[in-house]
Structure 1
Amino acid sequence: MGVPASLALRVLVGPAAFALVRAAPLPGLAPDAHFAVCVLAWILAWWVATPVPWAVTSFLPFVLLPLGQVMSVADVAAGYGQTMLPHLLGVMLFGYAFQKHGLARRFALAALCVPGVARSGSGLILIIMIVSAVLSAVVSDLAVIVMMTPIALSITRSVADGATRMAAAASLAVLLGAAAGGLATPAGIVFNAVAISLLEQLTGHSVSFAQWMSTGVILAAAHLPVCHLVLKFMLPPEVRSMPNGRARVLEERAQRGPLGRGEKNVLFVLVL
């Protein structure tokens, strides 16, 4: 059985990007740097075309850089063994467990059950943003967006069916809340861990979790009210008052029942 033409074309996109950048004059770049840029072009092309999984593409430098005599195999392998990588893997696995066992939805419902929160459209948008920010402080922001967007839309439809502008605001509240919460801790955004690792390599100065939070939490807290005001101005909720909103949320929360074993295990890991 032959290789499908579409797959073959997507595979060739990478080498073509490499050859194109290799042929392009890049004055001021050393030969090794030029070769590294070519490898980057190949990686980006394959990430976009996805002829192979992203994880496979990520190992291209391990093959190409030694072949181009830019770095030795040992030096490239050392880059894959940086201390930040287990941290990033742990954050992603934790986010998957959080999503699989439904803890994000339980947290969102618990926050919405606070008296007065689910009685107005503006309050609902604010609490969705806050929950997204809190989750994003301990789980990757991308995972939070994937988890919270359907939850926010579902809750919005249940308390204010047909409010399209409010649904759009809820989706944006998840995005903005996750972005703000990602600043609070090193675990919030992947780039936080990358920045800490590079800072330690280049300057020898390490930043602890608590040191990052001493500034990150303040920045995150300052972002939230500003983002909420922007959403309130650009997408004012159609429903100003929801007298039965909390009752509906309480009903949905009751349907979930007590914490399951999987949820308890994830919470135990979070506490650790």
Structure 2
Amino acid sequence: MKTSIYKRLGKAFFYLAFAKALLITTSCKSDHLQLTKISSSQTHIDSTLQSVVQIDEYIAPFKKSLDAQMDEQLSFNPASMNKNDYKYNTPIGNMLAAIVREQGAPIYKSRTGKDIDVVLLNHGGIRAGMPAGPVTMRRAYEIMPFDNEITIVELTGEKMNELINYIIDRKKAHPFDGMQIILNADNSVNMVTIQNKPLDKDKIYTVATSDYLYSGGDDMSFFKDAPMVKIDYKIRNATIDYFKKVDTIKFEHDNRFEVLD
């Protein structure tokens, strides 16, 4: 079995660090060392920084192997998708919310016996779009570069109402699934349903989100102190796994959140 590129790089860095430590240890002969001066310099990491040939040559085979993995086609996207395509919900946002449900729900069900009622992510967490064409692992890293994990939270009906009001007040295409929010032209509420039923204030709802949002990111304070379960599954990894199992990406703008004329 071939050692993974990450393990090989890890060993290489370990040996380099060990050699450096050994050099420092064996070169300190005096028992009476005294600090006489401290100096520092700043190195800017930008286009002016020159590469080191020896390092470039050393990492070249690892980079080649990693690039091949990152650029391998996993699926196909027939139409370009970006997070600002529409005001209230977008194909790419609907895709990410659906992926969190489809990939995360079976794990959560197996551990708790419960289903996921709603998925809520944040508009700002989508860091890149998806052009039409081949879908690769690199694209998943560009869309979701953070190590955010799927976190399932239990919310009371009262807290669920706060979540809904948050979405209404922000009027932004925060990705969500399992709900429908329809507003009148004057922004008053026309209809809100969860799993095709009206909000039940006596019910406990399960909401799949990210650990970042659970901790209060994007001012989502309604998650504070709510019971939660982590399923040890990064949203990016769930996205990659979904891409691998479908031939073609098929998501559209719909009426899950809209304002009537």
- Structure 1 length as normaliser, TM-score? 0.24
Higher helix share: 1
Q: Taking structure 2 as the reference length, what is the TM-score of the superposition?
A: 0.24
Flag the structure with higher strand content.
2
